[in-house]
Amino acid sequence: MIGNQGKIVLNHLQRAMVAEEKQGCCNTGVVGGFHLFLKGILSRLGQLEQDGDFSVLKDITHHYKDWSPLQRRQALAHLRRFLEEQKEPALSSQIDLKQDEREPKEPVETTDFHGPDSHAEDSHDKERTVRSNPSRALQYLKGVGPERAKFLAQLGLHNVKDLFFYFPRRYEDRSLRGIGELKDGEVATIAGKVVASQLSRGKIKVVKLSIEQEGRLIYGVWFNQTFILKQFPVGTSVIVTGKVRWQQRVPEIQATDIQKSGAAKLAEIIPVYSETARLSSKVLRGIIQGVMDQASEIFPEFLPSEEGGRWYSRAQAYQEIHFPQSFHSLGQARERLVFEEVLFLQLAVARLRAGVQKDDSPQLKDGEQLVKRFYDQLPFELTHAQKRVIQEIFRDMAETKGMARLVQGDVGSGKTAVAMAALLMAVGSGYQGAMMAPTEILALQHYQSLEAAFRPLGLNVVCLLGSQTKSERDKILSEIAYGKAQVIVGTHALIQESVQFHSLGLAITDEQHRFGVKQRTSLQTKGENPHVLVLTATPIPRTLALTLYGDLQLSALDEMPAGRKPIITRKLTERGRLSLEKFMDEQMDKGRQVYVVCPLVEESESLDLISATERFESLQERFPHRQVRLLHGRMKGAQKEEVMEAFQKGETHILVSTTVIEVGVDVPNATVMVIEGAERFGLAQLHQLRGRVGRGSEQSYCFLLSDTKNSRRLDVLCETQDGFKIAEEDLKLRGAGELLGTRQHGLMELRLADLSRDGRLVEQAYQFTQKVLAHPEHYVRVWQECDQFFSIENVGLH
């Protein structure tokens, strides 16, 4: 049997095991890698239990990184049995793994095992316990209590550390002003003496205090707050904050705060927090101010002295971001915390990839003849950008260090041809290549393109989809397992446990922003350390690329194929619909096809938008002699495929669709894109939709229907077709949090960083990240704080 401290350590291990299993045993259950967490556990147990027999744990720790997910799952089951033997029955009965899964709010502590046992808290010393452990509940803090703790929990505030991360949404400048300086509409703070007061009775009771300042008067105004008259009688010196209104000669200040002057030192900069009906910003400010003295305990410094000298100390930065002494110190604090936030995000992503990227990938360099035969049959000349990117990929694939390269290219820049060349190099070297797409429609299109190009070369291409019958699926799985299938295309069905590759050498994920990090890394674990190629048709601003893909090599397809005509893009209001429909008819008379994209599938009473079903019906009436079809995400896979196939063959004249056609669908004969309610779409999404036309040699058009008079997004789309410029503008307009799509990435949303204006800090964080990755043994404290910054649930990577 082990001691009490050992039991606490094993509790942490069991919870981390739950998180690791939930991640598919991909070595991602803990930031930095589950195998490193095991090493820390082993070291800690060795210090606590000198005579303990931990041979099972030692064996798993030493081999975990190199095992497959299936082997890891088996090892964890074995380890669980071992742990039950080590622990006393009484303690074992308290540990319910399923209960742990239901309670994701409490983070797993991965670097500190000295905390008190939560079951042994002294009920007479709750507040001391809270102060000694920042992960404990807030109800024991002064001024909180059980009821207010419930309201705090609704804001995501469960412990002391959460309070520090609840940053102000803005700041009020409460430096004292003279009445003569005040401007109408501004929020200001003035000091003076109450010289008169009055109460207007009626449905709404209006309180007015006449406040004198150096011979000038201003009225302080409150509504339904009659207590003001008693608390601040005539003769009281006061400081009032509120919105200024100039009415005739005497201004008014619609007060939001009042206090007696001299009662306490006046803070000139006041943080304003997002509030609820039960929790005002003032109440939140008081609660947060009450824990500020714990900053140095909760946020120890981790930067080495040579790096830390450039920044505020960590604890000081957290204190200043909430209660700044000046706007200069606020700026300095924000810079430190943005640097830290981006640094930790870059390290987390890099470590997650490092967990599956090893130095013993196959050298894929024997497919030159196959690639040459492919080039010879192409009906077009590759662009200089395509040739450059292909050579960058081939250089990576020829090395034993696994390739990890992101290829970003605008719509129509030729990413598919680049992917084909990479697949052929892998197959020519005796290995399989796999390509994972986010939707069945896109996977089928890739399959059709690859089969048409590779069949003349004698290659066998298969497609694995979730909607296939069991007999179809079993046949394809057999071909993959025995190596008969050389190129495999599919959706996320490729990463299911039933899929066993014969010799996967190259793993490609297309439209990477649609996959979580865990899904992408799962494909890597399917083979013998395959090389990894990530494709995206959504150009990514450099700051965003460094943050999310700082460990990947970046390649840009920044040149369009010859002969592509710019897509004419115009904004239209509802008044222009008749002219638009006449133009659509003219285009269809020439044999062209039309997309009409709507933001909703069915009519919604809450949103005044044209739904796809309603527009479909109206177009059927308007064009009775044309074939009009409807496509949306709620249709079954076979239905979608049938509708899309009819459109690709030219049998359908008008395709009314939701954004299901945003990615990848290639119909060169479609020349008109109509986007209903265009103001409802994001800028990058509009650019993607526009990219569905202009794929052939004919002139194409995109019409943005919107009655919104001023829309920067729509203006930008009409001004440029450069996807990289559009991506930068989208970052400015929407910010990184919305642009990333936190749920899809499975990463935390950036709390402070604004990648559209923090480029310098992102670059600095990137440079430091490279140092940490190159010499992790010198930066142990950095990794420890990175682990603490993320909870197990936050880095789950969906």
Q: Is the pLDDT of residue 741 over 50?
A: no
Are 542 and 623 within one domain? no
How far apart, in whole angstroms, are the C-alpha atoms of residue 52 and residue 161? 35
The pLDDT of residue 118 is 37
Q: How many domains does the chain contain in total?
A: 4
pLDDT over 90 for what percent of the chain? 30
The pLDDT of residue 548 is 64
For the chain, the straight-line distance linking the first and the last C-alpha, in angstroms and rounded, comes to 37
For 779-796, letters b (16+ CB in 10 Å) and e give: beebbbbbbbbbbbebbb
Q: Is the pLDDT of residue 93 over 80?
A: no
Q: Is the pLDDT of residue 354 over 70?
A: no
Query: Could you tell me if residue 466 is inside a domain?
Result: yes
- Please state which of the ranges 32-41, 108-117, 604-613 shows the lowest mean pLDDT: 108-117
How far apart, in whole angstroms, are the C-alpha atoms of residue 559 and residue 382? 10
The pLDDT of residue 543 is 66
Query: Could you tell me if residue 456 is inside a domain?
Result: yes
How far apart, in whole angstroms, are the C-alpha atoms of residue 374 and residue 416? 13
The pLDDT of residue 743 is 36
Q: Is the pLDDT of residue 581 over 90?
A: yes
Q: What confidence tier does 319 reach under pLDDT thresholds 50, 70, 90?
A: very high
Q: Is the pLDDT of residue 766 over 80?
A: yes
Distances (CA, A) of 733 to 690, 736, 760: 19, 9, 19
User: What is the residue type of 646?
Assistant: A
As a whole number, mean pLDDT of residues 710-739 equals: 75
As a whole number, mean pLDDT of residues 568-588 equals: 94
As a whole number, mean pLDDT of residues 767-792 equals: 80
Among 236, 266, 296, residue at a domain's last position: 266
Q: Is the pLDDT of residue 676 over 60?
A: yes
How far apart, in whole angstroms, are the C-alpha atoms of residue 434 and residue 173? 57
pTM for this predicted structure: 0.56
- DSSP code of residue 611: B
Query: Could you tell me if residue 535 is inside a domain?
Result: yes
Are 540 and 580 within one domain? no
As a whole number, mean pLDDT of residues 716-736 equals: 76
The pLDDT of residue 720 is 87
260 compared with 21, residue with greater pLDDT: 260
The pLDDT of residue 603 is 59
CATH assignment of the domain containing 582: 3.40.50.300
Q: What confidence tier does 601 reach under pLDDT thresholds 50, 70, 90?
A: low
Q: Is the pLDDT of residue 420 over 90?
A: yes
107 compared with 270, residue with greater pLDDT: 270
Query: Could you tell me if residue 675 is inside a domain?
Result: yes
The answer to whether 463 and 491 have CB atoms below 8 angstroms apart is no
As a whole number, mean pLDDT of residues 272-280 equals: 87
The pLDDT of residue 426 is 95
How far apart, in whole angstroms, are the C-alpha atoms of residue 225 and residue 678? 46
620: buried, middle or exposed (CB in 10 Å: 19+, 13-18, 0-12)? middle
As a whole number, mean pLDDT of residues 396-419 equals: 85
Three-class DSSP category at 540: coil
C-alpha count within 13 angstroms, C-beta hemisphere, residue 702:
25
As a whole number, mean pLDDT of residues 692-718 equals: 88
Q: Is the pLDDT of residue 16 over 90?
A: no
* Sign of the dihedral defined by the CA atoms of residues 617, 623, 628, 632, in that order: negative
Are 608 and 517 within one domain? no
pLDDT tens track for 173-194: 888 889 888 888 888 999 999 9
The answer to whether 551 and 776 have CB atoms below 8 angstroms apart is no
As a whole number, mean pLDDT of residues 71-93 equals: 65
pLDDT tens track for 128-139: 444 445 655 788
The pLDDT of residue 558 is 78
pLDDT tens track for 139-168: 888 888 888 888 998 888 888 988 999 999
266 compared with 658, residue with greater pLDDT: 658
Average pLDDT, the chain: 80
Distances (CA, A) of 427 to 396, 398, 486, 510: 16, 13, 6, 19
The pLDDT of residue 357 is 53
The pLDDT of residue 590 is 94
Q: What confidence tier does 525 reach under pLDDT thresholds 50, 70, 90?
A: low
Q: Is the pLDDT of residue 478 over 60?
A: yes
Are 381 and 421 within one domain? yes
Range of the domain at 202: 175-266
Are 456 and 541 within one domain? yes
83 compared with 446, residue with greater pLDDT: 446
As a whole number, mean pLDDT of residues 458-478 equals: 91
Query: Could you tell me if residue 125 is inside a domain?
Result: no
Which range of 22-36, 354-368, 531-545, 641-655 scores highest in mean pLDDT? It is 641-655
Three-class DSSP category at 663: coil
Are 528 and 605 within one domain? no
232 compared with 345, residue with greater pLDDT: 232
**For residue 516, how far is the Cα from the chain centroid?**
9
How far apart, in whole angstroms, are the C-alpha atoms of residue 558 and residue 394? 19
Are 457 and 595 within one domain? no
- H-only helix segments in 52-88: 55-63, 69-86
Among 55, 86, 120, residue at a domain's last position: 120
- H-only helix segments in 534-630: 542-549, 577-589, 612-622
- H-only helix segments in 323-412: 327-354, 368-377, 384-397
Are 665 and 583 within one domain? yes
Are 431 and 545 within one domain? yes
Q: Is the pLDDT of residue 617 over 90?
A: yes
As a whole number, mean pLDDT of residues 220-232 equals: 90
Are 535 and 582 within one domain? no
Among 720, 752, 780, residue at a domain's last position: 720
Q: Is the pLDDT of residue 97 over 50?
A: no
How far apart, in whole angstroms, are the C-alpha atoms of residue 502 and residue 716? 48
**Residue with tokens 């001024």, as numbered in its chain:** 143
Q: Is the pLDDT of residue 84 over 90?
A: no
Query: Could you tell me if residue 399 is inside a domain?
Result: yes
The pLDDT of residue 335 is 93
Query: Could you tell me if residue 322 is inside a domain?
Result: no
How far apart, in whole angstroms, are the C-alpha atoms of residue 641 and residue 638? 5
Q: What confidence tier does 103 reach under pLDDT thresholds 50, 70, 90?
A: very low
Are 420 and 527 within one domain? yes
The pLDDT of residue 645 is 84
Q: What confidence tier does 52 reach under pLDDT thresholds 50, 70, 90?
A: low
As a whole number, mean pLDDT of residues 567-581 equals: 93
The pLDDT of residue 91 is 37
Q: Is the pLDDT of residue 397 over 80?
A: yes
Q: What confidence tier does 34 reach under pLDDT thresholds 50, 70, 90?
A: confident
Are 537 and 641 within one domain? no
The pLDDT of residue 542 is 66
The answer to whether 137 and 158 have CB atoms below 8 angstroms apart is yes
The pLDDT of residue 447 is 92
Which secondary structure element, helix H or strand E, spans residue 453, and what is its range? helix 440-454
Q: Is the pLDDT of residue 790 over 80?
A: no
The pLDDT of residue 14 is 80
Three-class DSSP category at 226: coil
- Please state which of the ranges 575-589, 644-658, 715-729 shows the lowest mean pLDDT: 715-729
The answer to whether 252 and 244 have CB atoms below 8 angstroms apart is yes
CATH assignment of the domain containing 199: 2.40.50.140
Q: What confidence tier does 95 reach under pLDDT thresholds 50, 70, 90?
A: very low
Count of residues making up the chain:
798
How far apart, in whole angstroms, are the C-alpha atoms of residue 255 and residue 708? 35
C-alpha count within 13 angstroms, C-beta hemisphere, residue 160:
25
Query: Could you tell me if residue 308 is inside a domain?
Result: no
Q: Is the pLDDT of residue 665 over 70?
A: no
The pLDDT of residue 653 is 96
Provide the token pair at 173: 């400048």
The pLDDT of residue 520 is 52
Provide the token pair at 362: 């196959």
Provide the token pair at 444: 């089928």
As a whole number, mean pLDDT of residues 524-550 equals: 72
